[in-house]
Chain A
Amino acid sequence: MTARLVIKVASVAVFLLAWHFATTTGAISPLFLPSPGQIIAQAQDLIVTGDLWRSVLISSERVFAGFVLAGLVAVPLGVVMAVWWPAKAIVDPFISLLRPLPSITWIPLTILWLGIGEQQKVAIVFLGSWIYILYYTLAAVQRVDPMLVRAARNLGARDGAVMWQVILPAALPGIIAGMKITLAISWSCVLSAELVAAQSGLGALIWQGKDWGNLPLVLVGMVAISITVLIADMVAERIERLLIPWERHRRA
């Protein structure tokens, strides 16, 4: 375990050193790739002014709003589609048509409908996320062991109890796993929306760097995205453990 950690740290250190020397000796022009030192200096500036934190916060807010909205629509819809076939028949054709569309293709329409403010960013996250959550929910509910439903009915459970006390808890691990994967997709949605039309957020920060010819700013933005999404994943992992305690030892 420690050997693994040493190798990981060494790997990153060697990479950073090679980068440092390649850019400071002039082997690579800073016009194409700034040095790690430049990036750190730029990051310090942004931290001092509060711009970095503001950008992280505003992008996170957009992701959170769009993602939660997508979950509120897609989880109930997925459950209903899984247990009542006419609902699936009604929704299926639309899903088939909408699914191949990347969220970025919604940008023109959403700008027309909602302008370039917060609502439009949230809409892009929503449109790029809800179908995935729907699919994972549908699959999770369909995979529930029919034996468990039989057992519950044999113990006197009626329809309501079967739904709330058997089908939903049995499907919960699958639904949460799907939402964790979708969260990363939601992040890529917000960034694409911010690259195209936004005054704020991490995507806009990167685009400003590009417009001003400030390459270190672009790279600070990229690193900030990586770290923010990593932290979001860790939070999601924590929430997962809290919600499904019966699977904790399986992971261990």
Chain B
Amino acid sequence: MPPILRAEHVSRSFSIGRGPDVVAVHDFSLDVEAGEFVCLLGASGCGKTTMLNMFAGFIQPTEGRVLLRGEPITQIEPRCGVVFQSYALFPWKTVQGNVEFGLRMQRIPSAERVQRAARFIELVRLQGFERHYPTELSGGMQQRVTLARILAADPEVLLMDEPFAALDAMTRQEMQEELLRIQEASRKTIVFITHSIDEALILADRIVVMSARPGRVKAILENTLPRPRHVSIQLSHGYAALKAEVWGLVESEVHRHTGR
């Protein structure tokens, strides 16, 4: 059986003005197994968002292929649901309306739609806010709505693009716990982008360290920390050793670019 999500020698370049093409991703290969939680870790500009956009089908690789269950992704792929850093909620729809959107697109009958939306609103602990508009909610709550909206649509893979980067440290920690809890319960396959080593260590089964300009896979690490996890895992011994290892990989990257 093929992996649920696969990148085969993927490269992507962009033409910018009259200058030479910029290579955002170069020869990127990765297999993601069903139920796995993979973090793409790297500094900004390392092509991780470009990679995610190709998994979602927003853009196409210039070389190589991206496959979902062995079939090439050639257009926007609803089976790969995206959680955007900027939330991308529909401001004219209430929380309920936003969470129901994907179900409506799937033409699910209204009774079942309402029921399923309620279930996911409860899962992200937003009961009582169904009739609120997104702009009436805090950043953390808006990101929960995005999560509920995509989970209700029930995609096979979740693609998360630095979803918690815009949140304050306390809310971020709360959302990480929430995501661990949800992933534990749903066993969704998740590809998660982050530039935070801690976030990758708390969440991931595997960590893909990316190098920048052009973006490529520098190393892939198994995260051996036990599950089920909680953010307090950061206090354990194994955590420090693993963090040192990841930091070593990232540090050499940082030095390469600052010229030290």
Interface residues of A (CB under 8 A from B): 145, 147-148, 150-158, 161, 165-166, 169-170, 172, 244-247, 249-250
Q: B135: which A residues are within 8 A, CB to CB?
A: 246, 249-250
Q: A166: which B residues are within 8 A, CB to CB?
A: 90
Contacting A at CB under 8 A, from B107-161, are 133, 135-136, 149-150, 153
Give 8 CB contacts A-B under 8 Å. Answer: A151-B84, A151-B89, A155-B78, A155-B101, A155-B105, A155-B149, A155-B153, A244-B92
With beta carbons under 8 angstroms apart, the residue of A145, A148, A154 that contacts B76 is A154
Size of the B side of the interface (Cβ < 8 Å), in residues, is: 26
Q: Cα distance A153–B58 when bound, in Å?
A: 9
Q: Cα distance A246–B84 when bound, in Å?
A: 21
Q: How far is the CB of B169 from chain A (nearest CB, A)?
A: 25
Q: Cα distance A157–B149 when bound, in Å?
A: 14
Q: How far is the CB of A144 from chain B (nearest CB, A)?
A: 11
Does any Cβ of A come within 8 Å of B86's Cβ? yes
Q: How far is the CB of A217 from chain B (nearest CB, A)?
A: 48
Q: A169: which B residues are within 8 A, CB to CB?
A: 90, 92
B101/A152 in contact, CB under 8 A: yes
A156/B88 in contact, CB under 8 A: no
Residue of A nearest to B136 (CB): A249
Q: For chain A, what secondary structure do more than half of its interface residues adopt (helix, strand, loop), or is it mixed? A: helix
With beta carbons under 8 angstroms apart, the residue of B92, B93, B133, B153 that contacts A156 is B153
Does any Cβ of A come within 8 Å of B42's Cβ? no
Q: How far is the CB of A244 from chain B (nearest CB, A)?
A: 7
Q: A244: which B residues are within 8 A, CB to CB?
A: 92
Q: Mark B178-189, 1 if CB is under 8 A from A, else 0.
A: 000000000000
A147/B82 in contact, CB under 8 A: no
With beta carbons under 8 angstroms apart, the residue of B80, B88, B102, B149 that contacts A148 is B88
B58/A156 in contact, CB under 8 A: no
Does any Cβ of A come within 8 Å of B91's Cβ? yes
With beta carbons under 8 angstroms apart, the residue of A150, A157, A250 that contacts B105 is A157
Q: B153: which A residues are within 8 A, CB to CB?
A: 155-156
Q: Cα distance A135–B81 when bound, in Å?
A: 35
Q: Cα distance A152–B81 when bound, in Å?
A: 10
With beta carbons under 8 angstroms apart, the residue of A147, A154, A165 that contacts B78 is A154
A147/B133 in contact, CB under 8 A: no
Q: A154-B56, A155-B102 are in contact. List 14 more A-B contacts (CB 8 A).
A: A145-B88, A148-B88, A148-B90, A152-B105, A154-B82, A155-B81, A155-B153, A156-B102, A157-B105, A158-B105, A169-B90, A170-B90, A170-B91, A249-B136
A156/B78 in contact, CB under 8 A: yes
Q: Cα distance A249–B133 when bound, in Å?
A: 10
Q: A250: which B residues are within 8 A, CB to CB?
A: 135
Q: Cα distance A156–B76 when bound, in Å?
A: 9
